[in-house]
Structure 1
Amino acid sequence: MSTIIEVSHVYKAFGGLSVLDDCSIKVEEGSITGMIGPNGAGKTTLFNIIAGNLPLDSGRVRFNGEDITNMPANELFHKGLLRTFQIAHEFSNMTALENLMMVPPRQLGENLFHTWFKHTEVRQQENDVRQRALEVIDFIGLSHVRNELAGNLSGGQKKLLELGRTMMADARVVLLDEIAAGVNRTLLGDLVANIERLNRERGYTFLVIEHDMDMIARLCDPVIVLAQGHVMMEGTIEEVRNNPQVIEAYFGAPTE
C-alpha cells in the first residue's frame, strides 16, 4: 500500500500552550487506521489540521503526495478528503434524503441562469442526484426514514447519514471523529458494518478517532497512540493494549 496522508513534524499551540509537538503520522491507502490517546492528547486538533479546519504553526501535511498544508476544507472536499464530527452536522429542517442530495458540488440548479434557461438539464441532473441519494440511503439502511426531517433522527441515524454524505461526495479518505459517541449498540453495529463495506467494496481509506476500544479492535489496523501531542507508538491493537507506556498514559501509573 502507498501512503495517502502524511503528517510531518507538525506543531500547534494555543495561547502558548503546545497541543501538538513534532507530531508525524502516515496513513496507508486502503487502510482503516485508528487513533487513540488520553483526553488532551491532541487527536481532534490533528484531525482539524488534516481536514483544513485549523491552520498549523509549523510542519507539513500531504495528501496523495500533494502538499495540502493549511489548504481550506472546501478545497480538500473536492479532492476527496472529508471528515465527520463527534456531533452530527445535519440540515435539521430538511429530510434525510434531501440532506444527501445537497452534497454533490456544482449542481446546475445552484445557478439562477441555469434554472431559467436550462431547466431540462437542471431537472435531469436533479433526477440523477436523487437516484444516487436513494441508492446511498438504501446502502446505509435508512430507507425507512428517508422522508423524515433529519433533525428528528436518532443520534445513531444521524451518524449513518453523515457517512452517507461522504458517499455522495466520492470520498477517498474519511476522517471519523468519535463516530460511536451517543450511538446505541444496534446502530453502532450498522455503522461499523458500513465502514467495513466502504473500505472493502469501494476502497475508502479511514482515519478513526475513537474511545470505544472494542470498535477500534474490530475495525482498525494499525492503531496510532497519541500522548502529549506526539506519537507514542503505532502497532496492532494487541500490541497497543499490552504496551506499558500506553497503559501508563491512560491510567496514570506504571504496571507492576
Structure 2
Amino acid sequence: MSALLEITNLSKSFGGIKAVNDVSMTVERGQICSVIGPNGAGKTTLFNMISGVLRPSAGKIIFDGQDTTNMKPWKYAAAGVGRTFQNLALFSQGTVIENILVGRHVHMKSNALDAAIFWGRARREEMAARQRAEEIVDFLEIEEIRDMPVGGLSYGLQKRVELGRALACDPKILLLDEIVAGMNHEESEDIARFVLDIREELGIPILMVEHDMKIVMDISDYIHVINFGSKIASGTPDEIKANPDVIKAYLGESEGAAK
C-alpha cells in the first residue's frame, strides 16, 4: 500500500534564505509521525507547505494519490487535510459547539435558497453537522462546556476545542502544530491520550510538529528530524534517541542523549 502523504525534495526560500531545503519524507496510513528539530529549523514552514498556507519553491507533495503541490489553499480541507495551529485560531465569542461546527462547513453543499427556506438538503445537512459535532464533543470529553464561550476557557481546553474543529472536517490526515505548547503536564497528557485515540478509534493518521520530546517519544511511530531547513535523520523513537546527528543538533555535542 502506498504512503498517504509523500513529500519529495521539498524546498522553500524567502529571498536568499532557504527555510526548507530538499526535504523528502512520507507518512504511512495509520501512522503517528512527528517532525522535530531546534527552534528555527523550518518545521512550521514545512507544515505550512503541506497544508497549503505556503507554496513550495521546489519539490512535490502527493496526498492520497493526488498532486497537491500547487493546490489552492481553500481546497485542502475538502481534500482531507485537517490542521491545528501553533497559535489559537478560534472564534473567542462563539461557543464550543459553534466553533466545532465551523469545521463542518466544507461538507455543506446547500445554496442560499436552500438555507433561506431551511428545508430539504439544508435541513438534512444542518442536522448531520450537529450530530457529528456532538459526537466530537463526546469523544473529546467536553460535554460540560459545550455551550460556553471559548474565550472564557482555559488554554488547554481551547486547544481541545481547536482539535475538535479540525476533526469536524472528517480529515484523512490530521496535522498538529505544537498541540501541547503552553500546556501543563496534565493537559499535555490528556492531549496525548486523545491523539492516540484519534489514530486507534477514528483511524486517522497524524503528522505533528512538537517540542515536547516526552510526548513525541511516547506516542510517535516514526520521527523525522530537521535542522537548519534540512532533514538530518528519520527513524523510530529508539533510533532517533541514539542518532549522533540528532544529539549534536539538540545538545551541540557528539555524546549524550536527545532530551
Q: Distance in 2 between matches of 1:14 and 1:77?
A: 26
The answer to whether the Cα contact below 8 Å between 2:100 and 2:165 also exists between their aligned partners in 1 is yes
Q: Distance in 1 between matches of 2:117 and 2:249?
A: 63
**1:178 partner amino acid:** E
Indicate the residue corresponding to 2:252 in structure 1.
252
Structure 1 residues 240 and 108: CA distance shift in structure 2, 3 A:
closer
Indicate the residue corresponding to 1:107 in structure 2.
108
Indicate the residue corresponding to 1:42 in structure 2.
42
Q: Distance in 2 between matches of 1:132 and 1:232?
A: 41
Report 1:48-63 matches (<5 A). Answer: 48-63=48-63
Deviation of residue 23 (structure 1)?
Answer: 1.1
> What is the total number of aligned residue pairs between the two structures?
255
Indicate the residue corresponding to 2:8 in structure 1.
8
Q: Distance in 1 between matches of 2:125 and 2:245?
A: 54
Q: Distance in 2 between matches of 1:208 and 1:229?
A: 17
Indicate the residue corresponding to 1:199 in structure 2.
199
**1:61 partner amino acid:** I
Structure 1 residues 23 and 114: CA distance shift in structure 2, 3 A:
same
**1:39 partner amino acid:** N
The answer to whether the Cα contact below 8 Å between 1:174 and 1:207 also exists between their aligned partners in 2 is yes
**1:107 partner amino acid:** M
- Equivalent pairs: percent with the same residue? 38
Report 1:1-256 matches (<5 A). Answer: 2-104=2-104, 105-107=106-108, 111-119=111-119, 121-255=121-255
The answer to whether the Cα contact below 8 Å between 2:226 and 2:232 also exists between their aligned partners in 1 is yes
Deviation of residue 117 (structure 1)?
Answer: 3.6
Q: Distance in 1 between matches of 2:199 and 2:2?
A: 15
Q: Distance in 1 between matches of 2:191 and 2:100?
A: 17
Q: Distance in 1 between matches of 2:59 and 2:120?
A: 49
Q: Distance in 2 between matches of 1:237 and 1:121?
A: 48
Q: Distance in 2 between matches of 1:113 and 1:156?
A: 39
The answer to whether the Cα contact below 8 Å between 1:174 and 1:205 also exists between their aligned partners in 2 is yes
Structure 1 residues 76 and 116: CA distance shift in structure 2, 3 A:
closer
Structure 1 residues 84 and 116: CA distance shift in structure 2, 3 A:
closer
SS in 2 for 1:55: coil
Q: Distance in 1 between matches of 2:158 and 2:60?
A: 33
SS in 1 for 2:4: strand
**1:14 partner amino acid:** F
TM-score between both structures, scaled by the size of structure 2: 0.93
**2:44 partner amino acid:** T
Structure 1 residues 32 and 118: CA distance shift in structure 2, 3 A:
same
Deviation of residue 124 (structure 1)?
Answer: 4.0
Q: Which runs of 5+ in 1 are unaligned?
A: none
Q: Distance in 1 between matches of 2:124 and 2:113?
A: 16
**1:55 partner amino acid:** R
The answer to whether the Cα contact below 8 Å between 2:114 and 2:120 also exists between their aligned partners in 1 is no
The answer to whether the Cα contact below 8 Å between 1:223 and 1:235 also exists between their aligned partners in 2 is yes
Deviation of residue 102 (structure 1)?
Answer: 2.0
The answer to whether the Cα contact below 8 Å between 1:54 and 1:70 also exists between their aligned partners in 2 is no
The answer to whether the Cα contact below 8 Å between 1:36 and 1:211 also exists between their aligned partners in 2 is yes
Q: Which runs of 5+ in 2 are unaligned?
A: none
**1:96 partner amino acid:** V
**2:235 partner amino acid:** G
TM-score between both structures, scaled by the size of structure 1: 0.94
Q: Distance in 1 between matches of 2:222 and 2:29?
A: 12
The answer to whether the Cα contact below 8 Å between 2:23 and 2:230 also exists between their aligned partners in 1 is yes
Q: Distance in 1 between matches of 2:121 and 2:65?
A: 37
